[in-house]
Amino acid sequence: MKEFVIVAAALLMFLACQPKEAELTTKKEVESIFPSGEKGSDEFFTGNAYALSLVPSDSTLTTLVGNVYFEAGARSHWHTHPAGQILIITDGIGYHQLEGQPRQELKKGDVATCPPNIRHWHGASPYTGMQQLYIIPNNEKGIVEWMEPVTDEQYFR
5 class by beta-carbon count within 10 Å (0-12 exposed, 13-18 middle, 19+ buried): exposed
Minimum separation from the CB atom of position 119 to Mn ion (A): 10
Tell me: does residue 85 bind Mn ion (CB under 5 A): yes
Is-contact 140 62, C-beta < 8 A? Answer: yes
Is-contact 141 82, C-beta < 8 A? Answer: yes
Task: Round to whole Å and give the CA distance between 39 and 41.
Answer: 7
Task: Round to whole Å and give the CA distance between 122 and 76.
Answer: 6
Binding mask 44-83 for Mn ion (x = CB under 5 A): ----------------------------------------
- In terms of CB distance, is 93 or 112 closer to Mn ion? 112
- The region of 14-22, 54-62, 84-92, 96-104 touching Mn ion under the rule CB under 5 A is 84-92
Minimum separation from the CB atom of position 87 to Mn ion (A): 7
Minimum separation from the CB atom of position 150 to Mn ion (A): 12
Q: Which residues in this chain contact Mn ion in the complex, by CB under 5 A? A: 85
